[in-house]
Structure 1
Amino acid sequence: MLFGAASYAQTTVQGKVVDENNEPIPGANVVLVGKAEGTTTDFDGNFTFNTSEEPPFQLRFTAIGFAEIVSSVTSNNQTLAVTMTEASTILDEIVISASRTPERIFESPVSVERFGLKEIKNTTAESFYGGLQNLKGVDINTNSLTFQSINTRGFATFANNRFLQLVDGMDNSAPGLNFVLGNLVGMSELEVQSVEILPGASSALYGAGAFNGILFMQSKSPFDFQGISAYGKTGITSQEAAGDNNYYDFGIRVAHALSDKLAIKANLSFLKGEDWHAVNTLDLSNLGADRTDPNYNGLNIYGDEVTTLLNFDAAAGLPTGTVGTANVSRTGYAESDLVDYNAESVKTDFSVYYRPFADDFEIIYNGRVGRGNTIYQGANRYSVKNFILQQHKLEFRNKNFFLRGYITTENSGDSYDTRFTAINVNRRWKSDTQWFTEYAGTYIPTYLGGIQQGGLTPEQASTAAHAAARQAADTGRLVPGTPAFQSAFNQVINDGDLSTGAKFIDNTKFRHVNGNYNLAHLIDDWADIQVGGSFREYELNSGGTIFTDFDGPIKYNEYGAYVQLQKKFMDDRFKFTGSGRYDKNEFFDGFVSPRVALSYTAGENRNHNFRVSAQQGFRNPTTQDLFIGLNAGSAILVGSAPANLDRDVRTFNVSQSGQDLIGQSTVDIVGRAAYENAYSLNSVLSGAPEVANTSIIKPEEITTFEGGYRGQIGKFTVDMSGYYNRYKDFIATVTVLVPFYGTAGDNALSLLALQNGDRQPYQTYTNSSADINSWGGTIGVDTKIFGNFDLGVNYTYAELDFDKERFPDFETNFNTPKHRVKASFGNTELFKNFGFNVNYRWSDAFFWEATFADGDVPSFTVLDAQINYAVPSIKSVFKAGGSNLLAEEYFQAIGTGNVGSIYYVSWTINP
């Protein structure tokens, strides 16, 4: 009887969803209005929907790129024929990232940007990833041709570890580097179904990595997108420093459903071009100096960082003041002598999709392997060569849940540090001691001769003597292009010991498991309730070259769990979203991340949506913040994990004066001393040494408030938002000086150590006590003019609130222009099968802060454009375009190569 009653209450609705050309729309969402209950259409656009709800009721149909439609169901076993039209505005598009469930951008509780199949086709950039920089509120900092770093709402260097990138749910960050290398080892554009960007904190749903923004790349299902697709691009890159060079980009995608249960797909893409050459010879520490300056240190000249104070009087046994002293640096090599600017990216992936019951339950295996060559700028400039990132995932999912586990493995390949390459090539030829001795040995007699026999002024004699001394010390120097230089160069870049080599060695990995379950169907769709969790284990493995893992890999873990409730009221006009997450890293106390969002849809036609939200987020220290143990030249970097403080032990030579004091020629310094027995570097430089007292690092916190409006006002689509961020325990680095003897603050022996030069700079990882706030906003307006021409304009404002005078030594790395303006103009159907698009970007000047160098970045203007022509008979689109058509070279960070122009033509075949 119970079974019969349940069957009697069941309502079944069937139907088919097509577009205006009567083509089926696979993957369209079919949802019961007022509840979260629903289904999706299959590859042929068909659907079957079962519900306990009795007619009459309404079903809402949504699909990416199409306008929402609502149909009425008046009887059981009704069959619906639904025709969807192309979305009239971007607000009709469907996003998943904001709430982990499908919803229109119009109703998203937070800011979100989307880049779909239409935008990929119409992008003016040479790649879909580069096209993301035209979205409002999104910056892309160009590190090199194949490495672009996305930034939202500030606080970013190229090592942007405040931004998370997910590829089919997998964290695409390099485990040892702790940041994403753009799309170097990401996804082929043939495989991309959509890209979504959340520009703000999202820790409540996505955990510690989702601190300042997330990018989601979703691939195409082989059930829904079948056949063989391919593209080919060719053109040139043009830069004043590098000239005109060939540019190639090819890709192929194969996907096939073997049955209604099994489907497979595979992708391969290859990109090759000449990277942007970095040729800035400016000496930032001595503006106006050139290579004739004895202590010259050029920005993109390496090896000249090795410098010392030569006391010529002491060396010659002359009275003080006879010849004098001078800071002298070794002769460096230009970056172009040390780097092969061959930029390359090879991406492959293979997937198997299995539906054992021929319904929406899927078991998915996905394997991705990417290899690339690029330039990365961190503390130094690194030649990233044959870098490999692998990801392997097994996932179980249906419309109500997913459970996935994956592993991400990094192999640094043949990568190396260009600065240490130059330093150690010099040293393999001639030691620093010998070089400086020969320099002084030539300088002294030349200077005295110029004064005594040549009748020169002291200034003239000094200039001539420095030139002669450098020439003498450099006699026989290894010259780039010669067999002797190449032999020394090869030895250095294959040596992982930075005291003698420059090789970057890293085979770090992490394992990650996460899952999510939507309980709505279990509670009669009273509300949309989701629960989920994650677990991650890191395994650091650099062989002691980066981390303090000289005695074997270092492992540690973190985990988290969350819940979210989403409920609509007042005829589905008012929506409440509340979520909370608990995360725990084994080194720190647990952290709770709450989020509350309210939105209201107003207007007779439901065309105005207002939203407010507040949330807290956090960011755990990175693997390097915790376990690095690296001599970067200017300082030794030592992470502050409790287990790391005693792992870094180094031996230093003591000066003769120091030996007389302590009776030792060498001392062993433990990393803990950098935190517990050190002086502030800047206080020593100012002549008033102060004890540093650096605290151990802990997670960084953010509290963010956001408000926004989305709406359709006549022919104009408007999307605006504003935010305010308040940071606590901002993760920072502090450089200190560790004395080789004595105790910091003893006003005795340790001060003598500083005076005798018996001290070592260390870079410590800690949290700043500074109050750091930021705020800003965006507004975007899109419309159609002159019939069917698309016009869009957006503006972004970003402001930092930080008391620099109170904390002069602290750098926030905000690295974001205050004002940005972007505009687009195009027509997807100017005439039959022909379209075009033009993008304009203007960026305000700003100050760049990073470990490599600080300095002003001037404002710049960029114009990109493309034309495309479709040939349906051969399922092809031909495109010709270019980026930076004004050919006004610009840069977005101090030390990188100027960004030139790219001109390309392409042919894309899609079934």
Structure 2
Amino acid sequence: MKKLMFVSLMLLGLATYGQTTVQGKVVDENNEPIPGANVILVGKAEGTTTDFDGNFTFNTDEEPPFQLQFSSIGFSDFTANVTSNNQTLTITLLEANTLLDEIVISASRTPERIFESPVSVERFGLREIKNTTAESFYGGLQNLKGVDINTNSLTFQSINTRGFATFANNRFLQLVDGMDNTAPGLNFVLGNLVGMSELDVQSVEILPGASSALYGAGAFNGILFMTSKNPFDFQGISAYFKAGFTDQEAAGSNFYKDFGVRAAHAFSDKLAVKANLSVLNGEDWHANSRMDLNNPGADRSNPAYDGLNVYGDEVSTTLDFDAAAGFPTGTVGSATISRTGYDEADLANYNAESVKADFALHYRPFANDLEVILNSRIGRGTTIYQGANRYAVAGFTMQQHRLEIKNDNFFVRGYIVSENSGDAYDTRFAAINVNRAWKSDTQWFTDYAGAYIPTYLGGIQGAGLSPEQASAQAHIVGRQAADQGRLIPGTPGFESVFNSVINNGDLTTGAKFIDKTKFRHVNGNYNIAHLIDDWADIQIGGSFREYELNSQGTIFTDIDGPIKYNEYGAYLQVQKKFLDDRLKFTGSTRYDKNEFFDGFLSPRVSFAYTLGEERNHNLRVSVQQGFRNPTTQDLFIGLNAGRAILVGSAPDNLDRDVRTFNVSESGQALTGQSTVEIVGRAAYENAYSTSSLQAGAPEAVNTPLVQPEEITAFEAGYRAQVGRFTIDLSGYYNSYSNFLANTTTAVPFYGEAGDGGLSLLALQNGDYQVYQTYTNSEADINSYGGTVGVDTKLGNFDLGVNYTFAELDIDEGKYPDVRTNFNTPKHKVKASFGNAALFKNFGFNVNYRWSDSYYWEASFADGDIPAYTVLDAQINYSVPSMKSIFKLGGSNLLGDEYYTAIGTGFIGSIYYLSWTINP
């Protein structure tokens, strides 16, 4: 019995030994609770976070005395001494003296203050998410300096920095918990359509400019990092509800709703899980421009009318009425005629939807910093995507599955990203093939000519009209005759044919595109500083990626099965401080190899120097080289986009794109052939430049196969805290070589380009096909610009202003065929004004943006974007008893509709009311 009592007392003592508990509350200087503050045991990876009311409970096996460190974004850290068990603490965190004290990881793959970062970096954290005026945290990023957002649709916004972007922005990388969020087949990020729920976002960091030295080929023009909340640190159930309406002249007022929920729980100090679900639904921005691309200012009376958001009218031909009727040349004449098209609203469902879900299991086998993470994400979206054409993306799905092992010094991460295009289809080909299913092009143009000729002659001979009057009347009659019995949107006949077309993946008769492309990626990083007594911060790492293209021949030339290829890379970075830690050197280099190209070395060197007695001024300079591999589409696309056939330039792709074309009657008389077979290789080796055709002087061209694009980037910057003012300015100069570019060429159906005979007759007879090729420009292309931002406090009010300048430098006269797609305004001004605690539990924020006019250049259409001004605002009220925040806000409150790209819908206003529980 005595032994049993002794053992019991021993066990009780051990149990008591392991139960040190500390409770308390974390507040700000106004005694307002700080939710989500980190509470960490100094020297160990143990901790917790405060709840909505700022309260915390911390349990540990550690015996007092020990120290707890308290931290939260926007506040200075505080360390408290714990001297006994069951101690209760009240911690007041002081607001950080400067935004430059915030910690970022992306710039060097290691935690450091923004103040000391070797390159430009922008951060958007929990406080900014709470105060954003936009309807979503992702939309709020457009208020950061140097950041552009091009709005494709309500649920698809494309982020970019430093120019050179279309909606297919393959120059800008987006990482979600280290996973590349690029859609594998599309080669670009679909905004936050299938990204992260704002309830789970801990921070967003943006690196403008090239970062290939650490992040490889995709990090060419900038990177966006989204980091989620760890379930060990952020526990509990939280949710948000948003409701409101969108307002647009073309679409009217429509209901808008957004809902999200997050649940996280740590079952012990070893195991934690979390899950997220968010659902957004609304009416997309309608695109209804009927501007005639061939004759701006004209209306549909133009016989060759080609409307911007009207599709099917791209099908056109030149009708020689005299030849058709057997009249002498000049009797009736000829004219270019286009088929009657359909408005986009007749072809696309403007319901915008985004559904995102994810689950993560976090396991710490030794209850320390070693952590194993198993994470799965899936997103499903419906939107409008604008590329070469406008695509109705219905039920698009993307999945990401990740296994990661990490601690404070290393990580190894493997993941797979796959996409499924769902019921997506091309609206232009939907219109073209609905027309053709009803009546062939040949029959339609024959009917047109058959009605035009007698009407014209009757007008001249019987009514005494002038040739112009007779022609105008005859065109009306001709189109009416050709369109007799045309399928009308909304009728059963139209709907039956339309549904058949959009479910057909053959673009000669259908419009559906199929894409189940994926890539597999493994990368790792190890910081060996702890092995060398922190003499320097030295990191090594590498990555491997395998692509698997699978479009069943609808996008890529993979009709015979999936196409696979791979790339890999490795890097080294050394970072060390000198001169009393005032001078910080960062040097890194990376080697990357794609199986189609030679390996590439990407070095980066930067110096940052801190000045002043209070160390409140910092100067930095950096130079780096970067590169961008051609995308999957640059290499293997084989797509008829209507105005041109797109053919990628991978060596084994050139002979895989084989198409058959009809030869004109004149051509048949010359060659004796009614059809001809053209191989994609001809677009590069047997073609004329289309610009020379338009100039009336055909010039044969031989287009080189595409190679990786290279950049040399120079940057200098200055950061300072001067009194109550925070100053951050930077300037850059980028020099590009082997600039990735598209050219259009015309392949003759017979003869050899440059032969001076038969091929010229082919051009004259219209017997040629336009191709878009993927190559590199010989032009010297440079860009330069800069940003300056000033933030201050006026009492308790926050005020910030920033300015961005961007300029392109290219000799357009010497290289008229080069399309850079720079697509960014020269001048941008942004300002913010707010107070998170105007009075108890109440705050507000206002954002202002002005953008200069600029020229938009993309495969869908080119044109000028007028300057625009946008004003967003929100007010918020916290109810601690309900653990809730209510927000009333609106974007584009001035109601002046604008657009950021040619061909998209005008961006109207969004008004919303949100309720967030336990944020």
Report the Cα offset of residue 758 of structure 1: 1.9
What is the alpha-carbon distance in structure 2 between the residues aligned to residue 47 and residue 748 of structure 1? 88
- Partner residue in 1 for 2:534: 525
Report the Cα offset of residue 752 of structure 1: 2.1
- Partner residue in 2 for 1:34: none
What is the alpha-carbon distance in structure 2 between the residues aligned to residue 526 and residue 72 of structure 1? 30
Report the Cα offset of residue 15 of structure 1: 11
Q: Does the 8 A contact of 1:236 with 1:245 survive in 2?
A: yes
- Structure 1 runs of 4+ aligned residues shifted over 4 Å read 14-31, 38-41, 44-50, 58-63, 68-73, 80-84
TM-score (norm 1): 0.94
Residues 509-538 of structure 1: CA deviation (Å, up to 9, x unaligned): 000000000001111111100000000000
Report the Cα offset of residue 657 of structure 1: 2.9
* Residue pairs, 1:408-423, within 5 angstroms: 408-423=417-432
Residues 672-691 of structure 1: CA deviation (Å, up to 9, x unaligned): 11111111111122221111
SS in 1 for 2:444: helix
Counterpart residue identity of residue 685, structure 2: E
Residues 779-833 of structure 1: CA deviation (Å, up to 9, x unaligned): 1111111x10000000000111111111112111000000000000000000000
What is the alpha-carbon distance in structure 2 between the residues aligned to residue 655 and residue 456 of structure 1? 34
Quickly say closer, same or farther: Cα 1:60–1:23, change in 2 above 3 A: closer
**Please, which of 131, 135, 143 is the counterpart of residue 144 of structure 2?**
135
Report the Cα offset of residue 27 of structure 1: 5.2
- Partner residue in 1 for 2:887: 879
Counterpart residue identity of residue 43, structure 1: T
> More deviation in 121-130 or 289-298?
289-298
What is the alpha-carbon distance in structure 2 between the residues aligned to residue 762 and residue 533 of structure 1? 38
Residues 330-389 of structure 1: CA deviation (Å, up to 9, x unaligned): 111000111110000000000100111111111101100000111111111111110000
- Partner residue in 2 for 1:151: 160
Residues 124-164 of structure 1: CA deviation (Å, up to 9, x unaligned): 00000000000000010111000000010000001110000
- Partner residue in 2 for 1:104: 113
SS in 1 for 2:349: coil
What is the alpha-carbon distance in structure 1 between the residues aligned to residue 303 and residue 34 of structure 2? 73
What is the alpha-carbon distance in structure 1 between the residues aligned to residue 651 and residue 36 of structure 2? 55
Report the Cα offset of residue 20 of structure 1: 4.4
Q: Does the 8 A contact of 1:39 with 1:399 survive in 2?
A: no
1:571 aligns with 2:585: no
Counterpart residue identity of residue 428, structure 1: A
What is the alpha-carbon distance in structure 1 between the residues aligned to residue 409 and residue 39 of structure 2? 16
- Partner residue in 2 for 1:512: 521
* Residue pairs, 1:69-468, within 5 angstroms: 84-468=93-477
1:770 aligns with 2:814: no
Quickly say closer, same or farther: Cα 1:473–1:537, change in 2 above 3 A: same
What is the alpha-carbon distance in structure 2 between the residues aligned to residue 429 and residue 384 of structure 1? 25
Counterpart residue identity of residue 114, structure 2: I
Report the Cα offset of residue 285 of structure 1: 1.8
- Partner residue in 1 for 2:844: 836
Residues 814-868 of structure 1: CA deviation (Å, up to 9, x unaligned): 0000000000000000000000000000000011100111111000000000000
**Please, which of 882, 893, 901 is the counterpart of residue 909 of structure 2?**
901
Counterpart residue identity of residue 228, structure 1: I
Q: Does the 8 A contact of 1:208 with 1:620 survive in 2?
A: yes
What is the alpha-carbon distance in structure 1 between the residues aligned to residue 840 and residue 154 of structure 2? 35
1:625 aligns with 2:634: yes
Q: Does the 8 A contact of 2:44 with 2:368 survive in 1?
A: no
| Matched positions, count | 878
Counterpart residue identity of residue 48, structure 2: F
Identity of aligned residues (%): 76
Quickly say closer, same or farther: Cα 1:29–1:211, change in 2 above 3 A: farther
- Partner residue in 2 for 1:595: 604
Counterpart residue identity of residue 478, structure 1: L
Q: Does the 8 A contact of 1:30 with 1:62 survive in 2?
A: no
**Please, which of 34, 43, 47 is the counterpart of residue 48 of structure 2?**
43
SS in 2 for 1:67: coil
Counterpart residue identity of residue 821, structure 1: V
1:804 aligns with 2:809: no
Q: Does the 8 A contact of 1:67 with 1:93 survive in 2?
A: no
SS in 2 for 1:85: coil
**Please, which of 632, 635, 642 is the counterpart of residue 644 of structure 2?**
635
- Partner residue in 1 for 2:832: 824
Structure 2: tracts of 5 or more residues without a match: 1-20, 50-55, 83-88
What is the alpha-carbon distance in structure 2 between the residues aligned to residue 89 and residue 869 of structure 1? 25
- Partner residue in 2 for 1:852: 860
Q: Does the 8 A contact of 1:98 with 1:198 survive in 2?
A: yes
Quickly say closer, same or farther: Cα 1:651–1:285, change in 2 above 3 A: same
What is the alpha-carbon distance in structure 2 between the residues aligned to residue 655 and residue 49 of structure 1? 87
SS in 2 for 1:545: coil
Report the Cα offset of residue 665 of structure 1: 2.4
- Partner residue in 1 for 2:4: none
Residues 607-658 of structure 1: CA deviation (Å, up to 9, x unaligned): 1111111100000000000000011111111000011111111112222333
Counterpart residue identity of residue 896, structure 2: E
SS in 2 for 1:817: coil
Report the Cα offset of residue 63 of structure 1: 5.3
What is the alpha-carbon distance in structure 1 between the residues aligned to residue 667 and residue 61 of structure 2? 84
- Partner residue in 2 for 1:789: 797
Residues 66-123 of structure 1: CA deviation (Å, up to 9, x unaligned): 32569999xxxxxx99975332321111111000011111111100000000000000
Q: Does the 8 A contact of 1:165 with 1:180 survive in 2?
A: yes
> More deviation in 673-682 or 863-872?
673-682
**Please, which of 735, 742, 751 is the counterpart of residue 733 of structure 1?**
742
Q: Does the 8 A contact of 1:30 with 1:61 survive in 2?
A: no
What is the alpha-carbon distance in structure 2 between the residues aligned to residue 301 and residue 148 of structure 1? 23
Residues 244-268 of structure 1: CA deviation (Å, up to 9, x unaligned): 0000000000000111111110000
Counterpart residue identity of residue 542, structure 2: G
Counterpart residue identity of residue 821, structure 2: N
Quickly say closer, same or farther: Cα 1:81–1:840, change in 2 above 3 A: closer
What is the alpha-carbon distance in structure 2 between the residues aligned to residue 691 and residue 48 of structure 1? 77
Counterpart residue identity of residue 641, structure 2: A
1:720 aligns with 2:734: no
What is the alpha-carbon distance in structure 1 between the residues aligned to residue 319 and residue 600 of structure 2? 53
Counterpart residue identity of residue 385, structure 2: Y
Quickly say closer, same or farther: Cα 1:24–1:519, change in 2 above 3 A: farther
Residues 746-790 of structure 1: CA deviation (Å, up to 9, x unaligned): 2222222222222111111000000110110101111111x1000
Quickly say closer, same or farther: Cα 1:49–1:318, change in 2 above 3 A: farther
Q: Does the 8 A contact of 1:653 with 1:665 survive in 2?
A: yes
What is the alpha-carbon distance in structure 1 between the residues aligned to residue 865 and residue 255 of structure 2? 28
Q: Does the 8 A contact of 1:796 with 1:820 survive in 2?
A: yes
**Please, which of 869, 873, 876 is the counterpart of residue 861 of structure 1?**
869
Quickly say closer, same or farther: Cα 1:384–1:647, change in 2 above 3 A: same
SS in 1 for 2:197: coil
SS in 2 for 1:463: helix
Q: Does the 8 A contact of 2:36 with 2:234 survive in 1?
A: no
- After superposition, the CA RMSD in angstroms is 2.2
What is the alpha-carbon distance in structure 1 between the residues aligned to residue 434 and residue 483 of structure 2? 13
